Amino acid sequence: MINKVIEEVREKGWSFNTDFLSGVELQAINDFFVAHKSEFVPAKVGKGNESQRATEIRGDNTLWLDPLAPQPPFDKIMNFLEELKRSLNQSFFLGLKEFECHLAYYPVGSFYIEHLDRFESDSSRTLSFVFYIHDSWNPDDGGELVLYSKDKKFISSILPLPGSFMCFMSEDFPHEVRVSRKERRTLTGWMHTKIIY
């Protein structure tokens, strides 16, 4: 899968891949999810002192993971991300150093309006990635990830199929998460050009 991701990032700046995680792997992740659900906090908008809760912007709840102290259900994802980071650096000389990631769930009726993943004050976020870890998803459940070009032209609408993996260059793609009609679960994160831990 790494080679497909590299070639697609080279050609168009993003890559969507189905069936990265098996049913058994999804089950283990969802058991972790349920066990830790009370620790999730409403996601905020902005960075540091300027961050604030804004459900009219984003309605997800997040739990940050520590890539330096990996939990077993995420081993496959973390190993894949390390390998992907190496391959991206080899292919594109991006100078990626570390990645950060959180689990997130979007309750029924929530969304994340169009945004860029880069903070104005910090250009270190270089590659955005999302693994979809709910156990089933139908087209009428909504929750699509919609990608736009920098000049706001529609590029693609991605149904968050369970077990699939999405990545895109953080700087180049404004995107939104459409309203979910079912609880939508992800592991989302960013590869950085600076040391973060």
Q: Which residues bind ligand OGA (CB under 6 A)?
A: 112, 117, 130, 145, 175, 177, 186, 188
Angle at 103 between CA 46 and CA 23, to 5 degrees: 150
Q: Please, what is the minimum distance in Å from the beta carbon of residue 186 to ligand OGA?
A: 5
Beta carbon nearer to ligand OGA, 91 or 102: 102
According to DSSP, the β-strands at 175-177 and 145-148 are antiparallel
Q: Please, what is the minimum distance in Å from the beta carbon of residue 53 to ligand OGA?
A: 15
Residue of this chain nearest to ligand OGA (CB atom): 145
Count other C-beta atoms under 10 Å from residue 136's C-beta: 9
Q: Which of residues 108-147 bind Mn ion (CB under 5 A)?
A: 117
Chain mean position to CA 51: 19
Rounded distance, CA 137 to CA 189, Å? 21
Q: Please, what is the minimum distance in Å from the beta carbon of residue 175 to Mn ion?
A: 6
Beta carbon nearer to ligand OGA, 85 or 185: 185
Q: Please, what is the minimum distance in Å from the beta carbon of residue 117 to ligand OGA?
A: 5
Residue 88 contact, options ligand OGA, Mn ion, none, Cβ 5-8 Å cut-off depending on partner type: none
60 contacts Mn ion (rule: CB under 5 A): no
- CB of 81 within 8 A of CB of 20? no
- CB of 32 within 8 A of CB of 76? no
Beta carbon nearer to Mn ion, 28 or 118: 118
Beta carbon nearer to ligand OGA, 94 or 113: 113
CB neighbour burial string for 47-69, b if at least 16 within 10 angstroms, e if fewer: eeeeeeeeeebbbbbbbebebee
Residues contributing to the site for Mn ion (CB under 5 A): 117
